[in-house]
A and B are shown apart, each in its own frame.
Chain A
Amino acid sequence: MGSSFEPSLIVESIPKLLSYLHITIEILALSVGLGLLLGILIAMPRLYHIPILKEIVTVYISFIRGTPILIQLFLVFYGLPVVVGLFGIDITRMDPFYFVIVTYTLSNAAAFSEIFRGAITSVDYGQTEAAYSIGLTPLQNFYRIVFPQAFRVAFPNIANASISSLKDTSLAFSIGVMDMMGRGETLISATMHAVEIYISLAIIYYVIVLIFERLFKWIERYLNRYLVKDELSL
């Protein structure tokens, strides 16, 4: 590596890295958004005890929980073209960005579905009975009565999972995505100074995480605005 430590490089490279911040945020937003939708879907078989599907979902969640995100990235990167190839579609030249979105969505969905499952089972069944008694359909009951209450319970955990997902996006560069981290790698080969670049990357990630934490705290307070003080202290 380079000769000595140059602190000025830390400051100089921050704006260069920040110009790629939007890619990191795009990866995060897409994979969290899609992951939430898929996560709710995946939670259903276990909540409604649908045979076979329930077992498949359990294995899927166990696999995602059991393997590092880096391995999942490689599996999707090398495996998805093979799977899609069975249907005669060639995606080997697809932008790695999409492979990253698929991987992080699949990974987030597994985490979110477990969070949702816990939150939905925390809603008293009396609520569902009351909804049925006034004539709501099961679907109405789910999205008008149970889900809003469950979401409040699930939110802090979803926030934490999203923040750790943000940190995981730093591995996307390993399959060739040009995000903040990927830009950092090119800066390192250009300047021959690794430590300085990684320190500026760490500072940027830290600040973003702090901002997200503040934002999520604020949303959490908003979601809990109907609660009486007493219940909040629980």
Chain B
Amino acid sequence: MQLDIPFIWTAFTEIIKALPLTLIIAIAPILIGLLIGIAVAFLRMNPIKILTPIANFYVSFYRGTPVIMHIMIIYFGVPILFESTFGISLNFVPIAVFVIIALALNAGAYLSEIIRSGILSVSKGQIDAAYSIGMTTSETLRRIVLPQAFASAIPNLTNIIIGFLHATSIAFLVSVKELTGAANIVASSNLKFLEAFIAVGIIYWGITIIIELFAQLIERKITAYSNTGVARN
């Protein structure tokens, strides 16, 4: 077998067309998951009977099982559920929607932990100080707690975003035509597997590096006023 280097470029231009779909499958779950995550994080920090144990189990279960299970169970399970209870066939729903639902539930579990540790990282003194100058609870949250919590959560958030970008590759197993799916099509129609996967590898790598650069930029901006650590930057 010989490596056909020019074909890597051909495959690259063909596969990159699937980038928008990949970005949608990666970003939509994170946005939905953020809402779930905030709700779950508050449930776990301010215990409510019955609901808090459910939230705890949800986070632990989703963090303890592979993403592929979440995708498969939603992809096969939701249509059966709808058909048996409402008698509605979900054949018209694009597969990508099931993947987004599965990843959003997964994102909620991971993000709730990040939000929780971000909020816990803000010292109690900050909240006391805010109250002492007469801020209301919502002002304290909006102006004092959340900005600092966000700043300390950025490295974790970056990892999550990169993780979800990579998790979208699993969607190809339920035949969604995102980057990996497109690579597989290019590979099998030209019988050049290695070249196609090198091309798609470069695409993923490139996006990851861009995300990391963005995160560094935002982190520098947001922590410009911070007064912690061992060195002045």
**Segment with Cβ contacts to B, from A26-34, A93-101, A143-151, A165-173:** A165-173
Chain A nearest CB, measured from B205 CB (Å): 4
Within 8 Å CB of B27, what residues of A?
none
- Kindly list chain B residues whose C-beta atoms are within 8 Å of the C-beta of A37: none
Set of chain B residues within 8 Å of A68, measured between Cβ atoms: 165-170, 180, 204
A224 sits at the interface (CB 8 A): no
Chain A positions within 8 Å of B165 at CB level: 68
CB < 8 Å: which of A67, A70, A85, A206 contacts B64?
A206
Q: Which parts of A168-227 form the interface with B (CB within 8 Å)? A: 168, 170-171, 174, 181, 194-195, 198-199, 201-202, 205-206, 209-210, 213
1/0 contact trace for A129-170 toward B, CB 8 Å? 000000000000000000000000000000000000001101
Q: By the criterion CB–CB under 8 Å, are B180 and A205 in contact? A: no
Q: Are A62 and B64 within 8 A (Cβ)?
A: no
Query: Are A62 and B84 in touch, CB under 8 angstroms?
Result: no
B214 within 8 Å of A (CB atoms): no
Among B69, B166, B193, B206, find the residue whose CB has the most chain A CB atoms closer than 10 A. Answer: B69
| Cα-based distance from A153 to B119 in the complex (angstroms) | 24
Q: How far is the CB of B174 from chain A (nearest CB, A)?
A: 11
Judged by a CB distance under 8 angstroms, whether B46 is at the interface is no
- Bound-complex Cα distance A72 to B3 (A): 17
Supposing A167-B67, A195-B73 touch, asked if A71 and B61 sit within 8 A by C-beta, the answer is no
- Does chain A have a CB within 8 A of B65? yes
Nearest A residue to B170, CB-CB:
A70
| B166 and A69 form a contact (CB under 8 A) | yes
Instruction: Say if the beta carbon of B144 comes within 8 Å of chain A.
Output: no
User: In the bound complex, what is the Cα–Cα distance between A199 and B77 (angstroms)?
Assistant: 10
B146 within 8 A of A: no
**B98 contacts the other chain (CB 8 A):** no
A167's contact among B65, B183, B194, by CB below 8 Å, is which?
A: B65
Question: With A and B bound together, what is the CA distance between A167 and B170 in angstroms?
Answer: 13
Chain B contacts for A69, CB-based, 8 A = 166
B201→A67 contact, CB < 8 A: yes
Q: Quick one: closest A residue to B172, CB to CB?
A: A70
Q: How far does the alpha carbon of A153 sit from the alpha carbon of B165 in the complex, in Å?
A: 29
Question: How would you classify the secondary structure of chain A's contact residues: helix, strand, loop or mixed?
Answer: helix
How long is the Cα–Cα vector from A202 to B62 in the complex, in angstroms? 10
A62 with B66: in contact, given A4-B84, A85-B1 (CB under 8 Å)?
Answer: no
| Interfacial chain B residues near A70, Cβ < 8 Å | 169-170, 172, 180
Chain B contact residue count (CB 8 A cutoff): 39
A71-128 interface (Cβ within 8 A of B): 71-72, 74-75, 78-79, 81-82, 85
Per the CB 8 Å criterion, the residue count for chain A at the interface is 37
Chain B residues with CB under 8 Å of A174's CB are 173
A74: B residues at CB distance < 8 A: 193, 197
Q: Given the complex of chains A and B, what is the CA–CA distance between A194 and B77 in angstroms?
A: 8
For B61, list chain A residues within 8 Å (CB): 202, 206
A68-B166, A78-B193, A171-B68 known; A1-B76 Cβ under 8 A: yes
Instruction: Indicate which residue in A63, A75, A171 contacts B194 across the interface (CB closer than 8 Å).
Output: A75
Flag whether A22 is at the interface (Cβ < 8 A): no
- Any chain B CB within 8 A of the CB of A51? no
User: A201–B76 Cα gap in the complex (Å)?
Assistant: 14
- Whether A71 contacts B69 in the complex (CB less than 8 A), given A194-B76, A205-B64, A209-B64, comes out as no
The 8 A-B residue pairs with the shortest CB-CB distance in the complex, in nearest-first order: A66-B205, A66-B208, A68-B166, A68-B169, A209-B64, A170-B66, A167-B66, A78-B194
Cβ contacts A to B, 16 pairs, < 8 Å = A1-B76, A5-B80, A66-B204, A66-B205, A66-B209, A67-B201, A68-B168, A69-B166, A71-B169, A71-B200, A81-B1, A167-B65, A171-B170, A205-B64, A205-B66, A206-B65
Q: Interface of B with A (CB < 8 Å)? A: 1, 3, 60-61, 64-69, 72-73, 76-77, 80-81, 84, 162, 165-170, 172-173, 180, 183, 193-194, 197-198, 200-201, 204-206, 208-209
